[in-house]
């Protein structure tokens, strides 16, 4: 497709971003077109204002989901995967995944095909947002969730299938287990390779962004050789590669950590779910295996106002896709109604990834200001007295009006 842009390059471990980068986008299904239109409007306006026209994204539409089916006869065309691989950075709206049967989750396929091994979700409170907790402003936590392994690897067999029977017979006969023969079977692989690259990415982020604490979250007391190993390999890579930049909780004896070091600790998952409610300010970066990471990302998002407000990304080296964290909300499709903040804020994350931080922080402040002024979509309006109810596109305009240089 013709576009007036240049390719982002990756050389010597660094992104080289031109002033007019080609960025592929997937509009998404259901409410996807509504939230994408709103997000694109805000991203373009922020870039224009922050750089006075000297920078501009050259958007390139690529197809997946319903549009992929219509144009290519498949929900995830090879052209789409190749475009994102080639252009390195992409952004997407939500995609439908039929439950049980049909095709595999498109999101999981995209992550696996492009080896986007970390799901990164910064969870931070924007003033004025209705929240179910008393002190939501204490939450400023970025979750690095492993994206390729664990029970999400998709290695499972249904009850009674030849594969399930074979595995159960093998385990019961050869390894003295006593698994019921009417069980479904799933495999939970967690590797040293995937753990170390995730923890390394979390550490590099913490150091680059002056974060105070990195916490390895796991259920290693029960699943010793998967979740427990995640903790051990996590500590190992930190000790081997970041020793001079960190202090371990076990070295402190209750003392305050030195201000120039990142504090590293670990928490068992069940206790961590209490900690994020009771003492969120003591945590800043979490590195977590896949399944627990899924739960904890959504639990944290709920504390600051729900999924409609939470940005997200799937990141590899160097490929990254920024995405709305909510689904397609089919009952609201085409109504110009839902909250586009998740995709707008994911756009801000994307701009940060490009090194266009001025535009990114303009967007975050613009969204916050619109909410503080009670100019909101239905989901927040129903929880805020005296608010003005806006459509999805009107909310985007309300944010654009509030984009100011800081
Ligand atoms: P959903 O689409 O996230 O919607 C569930 C509810 O969350 C909506 O009914 C709405 O609540 C609220 N909501 C979602 N997005 C919102 C927004 N932008 N603004 C305000 N409220 C919002 O979840 P689902 O109904 O379970 O899933 C629908 C489809 O999306 C499924 O096919 C699923 O697989 C897919 N999905 C895709 C992704 C992705 O592509 N990343 C992620 C999750 C789910 P109210 O009804 O209370 O207004």
Which of 327, 331, 338 most suits a substitution to test ligand 1, by most atoms within 8 Å of the C-beta? 327
**Amino acid 153: pLDDT:** 82
E-assigned strand segments in 184-325:
185-186, 213-218, 246-248, 262-268, 285-288, 311-315, 320-324
Phi, psi (5° rounding) for residue 211?
-85, 150
For residue 396, report the distance from its CA to the centre of ligand 1, in Å.
19
State the Cα–Cα distance between residues 115 and 93, nearest whole angstrom: 19
Looking at residue 309, its pLDDT comes to: 87
pLDDT given at position 167: 97
Ligand 1: residues within 6 Å at CB?
Answer: 35, 94-97, 107, 307-308, 323, 326-330, 338-339, 342, 379
Active site annotation includes 152: yes
189-248 pLDDT, tens digit per residue, is 999 999 999 999 999 999 999 999 999 999 999 999 999 999 999 999 999 999 999 999
Q: What is the DSSP letter of 58?
A: E
In this prediction, residue 99 carries a pLDDT of 58
| Predicted model pTM | 0.92
Phi and psi at residue 261, to the nearest 5°: -120, 150
pLDDT at 2: 45
- pLDDT tens, position by position, 133-156: 999 999 999 999 999 999 988 899
Q: What is the pLDDT of residue 4?
A: 83
Instruction: Please tell me which residue in 266, 294, 352, 379 is annotated as part of the active site.
Output: 294
What's the number of CA atoms in the CB half-sphere (13 Å) around residue 54?
5
Query: Helix or strand or coil: residue 273?
Result: helix
Handedness of CA 157, 162, 168, 171 (dihedral sign): negative
Over the chain (406 residues), the average pLDDT of each successive run of 10 is: 81 95 97 98 98 97 95 94 97 82 75 94 92 94 95 90 97 96 97 98 96 97 97 98 97 91 97 97 98 95 87 96 94 96 97 97 97 95 94 98 87
Structure tokens belonging to residue 391? 């459509």
Cα-to-centroid distance, 301 and ligand 1 (Å): 14
Our mutation pick for probing the ligand 1 site, out of 111, 326, 392, counting the most ligand atoms within 8 A of Cβ, is 326
Query: Can you give the pLDDT at residue 307?
Result: 77
**CA 69 to ligand 1 centroid distance, Å:** 21
Closest ligand 1 atom number to CA of residue 324: 41
Of the candidates 67, 188, 219, 337, the residue annotated as catalytic is 219
Q: Which residues of 282-294 are buried (b: 16+ CB within 10 A; e: fewer)?
A: ebbbbbbbbbbbb
């Amino acid at each position: 497709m013709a576009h007036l842009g240049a390719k982002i390059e990756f050389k010597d471990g660094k992104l080289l971003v031109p002033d007019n980068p080609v960025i592929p986008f997937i509009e998404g299904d259901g409410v996807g077109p509504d939230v994408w239109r709103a997000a694109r409007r805000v991203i373009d306006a922020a870039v224009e204002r922050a750089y006075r026209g000297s920078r501009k994204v050259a958007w390139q539409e690529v197809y997946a989901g319903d549009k992929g089916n219509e144009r290519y006869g498949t929900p995830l065309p090879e052209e789409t995967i190749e475009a994102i691989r080639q252009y390195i950075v992409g952004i997407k709206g939500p995609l439908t995944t039929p439950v049980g049967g049909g095709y595999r989750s498109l999101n999981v396929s995209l992550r696996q095909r492009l080896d986007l091994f970390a799901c990164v979700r910064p969870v931070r409170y924007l003033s004025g947002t209705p929240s179910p907790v008393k002190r939501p402003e204490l939450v400023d936590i970025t979750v690095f969730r492993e994206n390729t392994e664990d029970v999400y690897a998709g290695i499972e067999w249904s009850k009674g299938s030849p594969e399930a029977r074979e595995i159960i017979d093998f385990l019961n006969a050869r390894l003295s287990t006593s698994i019921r023969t009417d069980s479904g079977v799933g495999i939970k692989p967690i590797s040293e390779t995937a753990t170390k690259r995730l923890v390394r990415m979390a550490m590099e982020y913490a150091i680059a962004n002056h974060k105070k604490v990195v916490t390895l979250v796991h259920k290693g007391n029960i699943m010793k050789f998967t979740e427990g190993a995640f903790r051990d390999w996590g500590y190992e890579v930190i000790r081997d590669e970041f020793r001079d930049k960190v202090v371990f909780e076990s070295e402190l004896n209750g003392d305050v950590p030195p201000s120039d070091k990142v504090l590293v600790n670990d928490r068992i998952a069940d206790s961590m779910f209490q900690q994020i409610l009771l003492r969120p300010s003591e945590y800043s970066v979490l590195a977590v295996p896949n399944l627990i990471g899924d739960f904890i990302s959504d639990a944290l998002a709920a504390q600051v106002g729900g999924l409609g407000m939470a940005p997200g990304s799937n990141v590899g080296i160097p490929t990254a896709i920024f995405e709305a964290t909510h689904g397609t909300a089919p009952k609201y499709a085409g109504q110009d109604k839902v909250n586009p903040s998740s995709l707008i804020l994911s756009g801000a994350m994307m701009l940060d990834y490009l090194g266009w931080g001025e535009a990114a922080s303009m967007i975050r402040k613009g969204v916050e200001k619109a909410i503080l002024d009670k100019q909101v979509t239905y989901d927040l309006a129903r929880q805020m007295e005296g608010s003005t109810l806006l459509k999805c596109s009107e909310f985007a305009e309300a944010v654009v009006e509030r984009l100011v240089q800081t």
